Amino acid sequence: EDPSTLPERPPIVTIMGHVDHGKTTMLDWLRRSSVAAQEHGGITQHIGAFSVKLSSGKQITFLDTPGHAAFLTMRQRGANVTDIVILVVAADDSVKPQTLEALKHARAANVPIIVAINKIDKDEARVDQVKADLARHGVEIEDYGGDVQVACVSGKTGEGMDSLEENILTLSEILDVRADPGGLAEGWVLESSVKSQGRSASVLVKRGTMRKGDIVAAGTAWAKIRTLRNEAGMEVDEAPPGMPVEVLGWRELPDAGDEVLQAPNEARVREAINYRIELKSHEKAASEQE
């Protein structure tokens, strides 16, 4: 099958950067313009990710900060959950150790970056200095003839945030992010916890469509999906690629970073899980012998 004929899916974006450079402030600003906030009066659930619908109708999915842990686990397993990294650099503080750390992670995961120079509303903002510092660290920004887009923003006032969103869409068009909404669903656990309604996992669907009643496995845990909820806490019947959802109905709590795979039936999922449990106990026995 020709992948270029598959439907587009929302790009998945992670915000990284040095401490206090404004990651949470930017996410909060974006969250306020999220699909859920627009459609349900601003009350959003924390499910590790949220979707922003642009005026063009296109969507972008942002991973929340706790999604970071899952991002790192998944990268250690050689998988990329994110399509794009937004590297936040405060205009009054410029490049710092964790900026370089984030850059290193993005490069190791082979994920393209967009630079967001934040806090441009401040008197101390020195945008040109930040650009020069980034270039000095090998970031090929567009101002210096490279292809890394730079957005100058304020997460506080919202200035420049629309052009950041445009930058994301431009890059995702180049990356051509598409996914098959058919076939058995696949995704990633972003976070998991026990709630009053039972064991809950937020899942980012990567391929296929996750539906109520589906049987899915994640590590040695499995679920017959009882309830799917979007970021507004509203029940939904299905989740297409790129959509984060809360999944209820787990027999055991899965771990953040686990891959979620739909199984055709309960017998198959039990078989797969028994195999994984056996594998784990063999690995444990082998490591105890050392």
Task: Compute how many residues bind Na ion; rule: CB under 5 A.
Answer: 1
Is 62 within 8 Å of 15 (Cβ atoms)?
yes
Considering only 13-21, 114-122, 216-224, 227-235, which stretch makes contact with Na ion by CB under 5 A?
13-21
By CB under 6 A, is residue 96 in contact with ligand GTP?
no
C-alpha distance across the termini of the chain, in Å: 47
Query: If binding means CB under 6 A, how many residues of this protein chain bind ligand GTP?
Result: 14
User: Pick from ligand GTP, Mg ion, Na ion, none: which does 262 bind, CB < 5 to 8 A by kind?
Assistant: none
272 contacts: CB under 8 Å, gap ≥ 6 = 217, 261, 263
**Shortest Å distance, C-beta 268 to ligand GTP:** 42
Determine, following the binding rule CB under 6 A, whether residue 19 of this chain makes contact with ligand GTP: yes
Q: Which residue in the set 6, 8, 24, 80 belongs to the binding site for Mg ion (CB under 5 A)?
A: 24
20 binds Na ion (CB under 5 A): yes
User: How far is Cα of residue 204 from the mean position of the Cα atoms in its chain?
Assistant: 7
Q: Which among 16-24, 130-138, 219-227, 229-237 is the span making contact with ligand GTP, rule CB under 6 A?
A: 16-24
Buried b (16+ CB within 10 A) or exposed e, 129-154: ebbebbbeeebebebeeeebbbbbbb
Burial code of 198-218, b = ≥16 C-beta within 10 A, e = fewer?
ebbbbbbbbbbbbebebbbbb
Asked if residues 275 and 269 have their Cβ atoms less than 8 Å apart, the reply is no
* Binding mask of the shown chain, residues 133 to 162, with x at each position contacting ligand GTP by CB under 6 A: ---------------------xxx------
Instruction: Tell me the one-letter amino acid at 252.
Output: E
Contact 49, 202 (CB under 8 A): yes
Q: Which of these segments, 15-23, 93-101, 110-118, 239-247, binds Mg ion (CB under 5 A)?
A: 15-23
Residues of this chain that interact with Mg ion (CB under 5 A) are 23-24
Residues of this chain that interact with ligand GTP (CB under 6 A) are 19-25, 118-119, 121-122, 154-156
